[in-house]
Amino acid sequence: MIKILKRFHYFFLKNKPLFGVFMLISVVAVILENVRPYFYKLLIDGATNNQYENVLVILLVYGGSWIVSDILRSVANYFGDRIIVKSSVDARVTIFKRVQDLDFAYHVEKNTGSLISAFKRGDNAFFSLYWNIYREIIPIGISILVMFYFFGGVSLKFVWILTGLLTINGALAGILIKKNLKKRIEFNNSEDEISAIITDNLINYETVKFFAQEGQEEKRLRVSFKNWIDKFYGYVDTFRIIDITIGCLSLIAMTGVMYLMINDLQKGNLTLGDFTMVTAFMGGFYYRFFGLIWQIRNIAKDYTDIEKYFSILDEEIIVKDSEICQKIMENKGKIEFRNVSFVYPKNNKRVLSKINLVIEPGESVAFVGRSGAGKTTLVKLLLRFYDLSGGQILVDGVDISKMSKSYLRSLLGVVPQEPVLFNNTIGFNIKYGKQRVSKKLIEKAARMANLDGFIKSLTDKYETVVGERGVKLSGGQKQRLAIARAMLVDPKILIFDEATSNLDSESEGKIQDALWKTAKNRTTLIIAHRFSTIRKADKIVVLDKGKVAEIGNHSQLINKGGLYFKLWSMQFEEKADDGIEVSGGGLLKKDMV
């Protein structure tokens, strides 16, 4: 609890002078609000003793204090609003940045629906925590202290009675609140499950419709709601227990205090003004005390909601930047893999084992192999999505572990196998990697990716919104847009991870022409299953079970008759089965050249 409150106040107290003004005004306003029963005593005692001149002065002071307290409360709320809004934004941006900085492995494992719920509940709890502490708990605490002060002037026995009441009720409330919070956590977990199902459905709506599983999805949600309802009732029923237990005990105690007051009034130990003041204080005490219990419960509830929100800041960044980040002296695009080995986190299976490879500046290198051979893993390691289990990767002579991740990735242009686009315009998505760029360069990149003709056919051209994750575009269009995005960055090193896998034959040919024209001036890494994409590569690296099995160009590897030839032959046999003529070995002979 203390850790959460410290973290909350780290953001909340950044503007300490403004916070000091806010607290000073708030305290004065609360004191003025809570001395009103004392004015009742002065007015009644003055009227009883026929001191009407004093009564008039007291009445004017009483009215003035009411006006001043209302003004001060509004001013305090004004400053408080400025503090909480700014600190809430600061907290949300800080946590968002942390999510951005977390490793690729974290994002692979995260549940998007649950994370969104954590952000939503956490931000709400941030505001609620402020309200409950500074607009409820502290004012209630001050009002109880004011009441104790004036009770002490009447009779100390009332102070002891109220102290005992607070102690007993406080201990009882602590037990009940603990149970309430346990049920709250259970309910939050069930709510996260519901959110995860809905988010998963919205992301994968195409799959649902492909297989006509709308009914199944509705059933899945209804089944999950059974557990949600049980947890909900278990949670809200604890409120009823608190209501009955604390309410009854408080009312019994208050009735006892009122009885003692009446006895003292009969014996002459209290003036009529004292009796009125104590009665007024006690009338407000019940609501203050009950409010105090509920606000403590609310703070505890806020704790459970904000704990998961703030816990994101405790997530460890595994792939860390070096304390002194190096930069390359001259950006040529040379890549070296030295004894590179890798085991995925939480997995004892070795993916890569002692990979040694030198890629010269301007060289085009293709990586091929069976699924799971380690091709894409090499790219992830080059991008520092993970740290190596052993060995080094160097770019232009500098170990990538000595570079900052952002600097390293700025040197690379990547076309992923499954491009994901922002729900924004085509122009926005093309220039995403290089924000300040002319429209002319955007159009040039689109032409290089064979996308300009399609864009020109659209009503809004480059201002066309592509939808969530680019849903309004076909797979081939998304992939060509991703190629244009990478081309625009104009890096020395380009990485194509199955970049033409979703293109038709005509588009693939045009993209390959653009790819190879671009490859003349930069280092190009190509991961592909379609061998037509990589035939022109300067070097082809064949991976098998995490090791380099063969290296050479297309002709060399075909003539060698090893694993590459086997994989290549299998692919073209599949084409023959699909109706592509390969009789007499004509296609094989042609492609061996």
Lowest mean pLDDT among 95-104, 221-230, 239-248, 449-458: 239-248
pLDDT greater than 90 at residue 437: no
The span from the CA of 363 to the CA of 361, in Å, is: 5
Lowest-confidence region among 184-188, 212-216, 503-507: 503-507
Please check the confidence at residue 587 and state whether its pLDDT lies above 50: no
Taking CA atoms, 275 is separated from 42, 62, 279, 283, in Å, by 11, 19, 6, 12
35-90 pLDDT, tens digit each: 888 887 888 877 777 777 777 888 888 888 889 989 999 999 999 998 999 998 89
- Please give the average per-residue pLDDT across 11-39, as a whole number: 88
Query: How does residue 28 score in pLDDT terms, banded at 50, 70 and 90?
Result: very high
Task: Tell me the average pLDDT across 521-535.
Answer: 80
Residue 503 scores a pLDDT above 60: no
What average pLDDT does the structure give for the chain?
Answer: 81
Mean pLDDT computed over 522-544: 83
The predicted model gives 511-519 an average pLDDT of 66
Residue % of the chain over a pLDDT of 90: 8
The CA distance from 286 to 550, in Å, is 83
C-alpha angle 112/115/116, rounded to 5°? 85
Q: What is the pLDDT of residue 195?
A: 80
Q: Is the pLDDT of residue 581 over 50?
A: no
CATH architecture, domain 2-312: Up-down Bundle (1.20)
What are the tens digits of pLDDT across the range 250-309?
777 777 777 877 887 787 777 788 778 877 777 776 677 667 777 777 777 777 778 888
Report the b/e string of 285-294 with b at 16+ CB within 10 A.
Answer: beebbbbbbb
Residue 76's pLDDT is: 92
Encoding tokens for residue 436? 């300040």
Query: Which 8-state DSSP code applies to residue 402?
Result: G
Mean pLDDT within 153-178 = 77
pLDDT band at 419 (very low <50, low <70, confident <90, very high): confident
- The answer to whether the CB of 304 falls within 8 A of the CB of 185 is yes
Mean per-residue pLDDT, 479-498: 84
pLDDT score recorded for residue 249 = 74
Highest mean pLDDT among 270-279, 289-298, 396-405, 441-450: 396-405
pLDDT of residue 577: 45
Strand partners for 392 = 338
Residue 210's pLDDT is what?
Answer: 62
Mean pLDDT of 371-387: 86
Q: What is the average per-residue pLDDT within 161-190?
A: 79
460: left (phi over 0), alpha (psi -120 to 50) or beta: alpha
Domain residue limits, the chain: 2-312
Q: Is the pTM of this model over 0.85?
A: no
**Tell me, what's the pLDDT at 405?**
86
Burial pattern 15-25, b for ≥16 Cβ within 10 A else e, equals: eeeebeebeeb
Choose the most confident range, by mean pLDDT, from 153-162, 314-323, 506-515: 314-323
**Rounded distance between C-alpha atoms, residue 492 and residue 495, angstroms:** 10
The 10 Å CB-count burial string (b at 16+, else e) for 41-63 is bbbbbbeeeeeeeebeebeeebe
Q: Looking at residue 324, what is its pLDDT?
A: 83
Lowest mean pLDDT among 227-236, 475-484, 515-524, 557-566: 515-524
Percent of the chain with pLDDT over 70: 90
* Higher-confidence position of 301 and 211: 301
